[in-house]
Structure 1
Amino acid sequence: MCTSSVCNHTPKPFALHKSSSVEEYLEKNKQWSQSITNETPNLFSDYNSKGQQPHTLFIGCGDSRYNESIFNVKPGEIFGLQTVGNNLNLNDETIISTLEFTVLVLGIEKIAIVGHTDCGAVNACFDDSVYETLPKNLKNYLKPVYENIKKIKDVHKDDIPPIDKKQLSLENVKEQAKKLLSVDFIKEKFENNTLQILPMIYNVENGLVETIDL
């Protein structure tokens, strides 16, 4: 009898796996391209080949279980940015340049900042015993991200009822949204009602998204 939540002999629903060859990647790409073409025959030729005009910037965690496709969009609709713990370090050139390019050059009208349940970064910071056992070599790169989430947890240490992991993910999204609004050109467009900030959380348990009030 299988005792795990997913039996080892149960076929996995994934297209590729760790031992997939380059040829398999190319074949899956052909299948994907054909499926898009079958559904929207002129998407690549008449739209994607002539530049991009995305309406939304998606900011999410780098977790492999979700990205902008959760909104059932076509290629060309949403510009994506994913980081560990959907953390926005505004001193990072990649992040601030992405914001500048999408908001000021592409003219996107919405920024969806989307956290998720069962976030590894949040889970590590939620349990002090886990946090204290993080490898020492995380101090230069990953650990500062964890420390930012840990600070959020510490702010809510006296909450009644106690903060849980999902709520900590929610609070982390709120914190990242506040960072967005600290950027001058984003704040200006937000206050002029020409740019919306959409804080959300994605539930890995069912694939559904919930909105978050700032």
Structure 2
Amino acid sequence: MSLYERVFEHNQQWVAKQLQQDPDYFKRMADGQHPEFLYIGCSDSRVQPEDFMGVSPGEVFVHRNIANLVPNNDLSALSVVQYAVEHLNVKHIVVCGHYGCGGVKAALDNKDLGALNTWIRNIDDVYRTYRTELDAITDKEAQFRRLVELNVQEQCINIMKFSFIQHRRVNSFYPHIYGWVYDIATGTVKDLEIDMDKFKDELAVYKLD
């Protein structure tokens, strides 16, 4: 049996197990979602937020792409954030990168990836913003890890630039925005403890009213 075929067999087993434990499980799921978290992460197959966060279905709204980016011209990411904030009323937004990220490494290595170059250019911009700090790091692995962290920080700032985020935070103090990095080698999550308030004056010029 191929892996593809095993997926459907596993699905039937999983459904039976869920119904045995809770006959109303799927009915409850179908009634709607009320997540407190919006999780924005990398598409890397090794990074599964539901596992390392220990959350259940319905508790986290998830958006993933290469290198966990939230560019201001990406309609998909913007739509996810706006829907999560204005319709699902999430209280927490997490941008989670991970050490060993292939997208960040591609930006560091300046490789020609064809059509992907346009997407990776967003990380090039992060590097350019923090060039002085990054170029001062002589250890290549440490430099790589630091760019992963700075990329997360910049995506958090990009989220703060959205006018609907600023308006919501003024009126309700939510959503809170966090930057995390997941370490695949250890399975642990690092909170970068980014103080978003320190960017308030800088972000005022980016309001999209």
Distance in 1 between the 2:134 and 2:43 partners? 27
Quote the residue 2:200 is aligned against: none
Listed as ranges, the matches of 1:175-194 within 5 Å are 175-191=154-170, 192-194=172-174
Q: Deviations over 1:77-96 (max 9, x none)?
A: 11100011101122222111
1:73 Cα deviation from its structure 2 partner: 1.1
Listed as ranges, the matches of 1:73-152 within 5 Å are 73-126=55-108, 130-131=109-110, 133-139=111-117, 141-152=118-129
Matched residues, percent identical? 26
Alignment of 1:55 with 2:33, yes or no, is no
Quote the residue 2:136 is aligned against: 159
1:142 Cα deviation from its structure 2 partner: 3.3
Distance in 2 between the 1:83 and 1:209 partners? 19
Residue 161 of structure 2 aligns to a residue whose secondary structure is coil
Distance in 1 between the 2:133 and 2:165 partners? 28
Structure 1 runs not aligned, ≥5 long: 1-15
Distance in 2 between the 1:212 and 1:64 partners? 22
Residue 154 to residue 40, structure 1, CA distance change in 2 (3 Å): farther
Distance in 2 between the 1:84 and 1:112 partners? 16
Alignment of 1:20 with 2:13, yes or no, is no
Residue 98 to residue 117, structure 1, CA distance change in 2 (3 Å): same
Residue 156 to residue 148, structure 1, CA distance change in 2 (3 Å): same
1:205 Cα deviation from its structure 2 partner: 0.7
Q: Deviations over 1:143-198 (max 9, x none)?
A: 42342344255242343576522221111110100101111111233344221112
Structure 2 runs not aligned, ≥5 long: 195-209
Quote the residue 1:33 is aligned against: 15
Aligned 8 A contact 2:35 2:90 in 1: yes
Quote the residue 1:168 is aligned against: 147
Residue 157 to residue 56, structure 1, CA distance change in 2 (3 Å): closer
1:102 Cα deviation from its structure 2 partner: 0.6
TM-score w.r.t. structure 2 length?
0.79
Counterpart residue identity of residue 144, structure 1 = R
Residue 167 of structure 1 aligns to a residue whose secondary structure is helix
TM-score w.r.t. structure 1 length?
0.78
1:209 Cα deviation from its structure 2 partner: 0.6
Distance in 2 between the 1:107 and 1:210 partners? 25
- Aligned mate of 2:53, from 61, 71, 91: 71
Residue 134 of structure 2 aligns to a residue whose secondary structure is coil
- 204-213 or 188-197, which deviates more: 188-197
Distance in 1 between the 2:150 and 2:21 partners? 38
Q: Deviations over 1:124-158 (max 9, x none)?
A: 223xxx31x4234444x434234234425524234
Distance in 2 between the 1:29 and 1:155 partners? 51
Q: How many pairs align?
A: 190
> RMSD of aligned C-alpha atoms?
2.4
Distance in 1 between the 2:183 and 2:48 partners? 12
> Which protein has the bigger helix share?
2
Distance in 1 between the 2:146 and 2:20 partners? 41
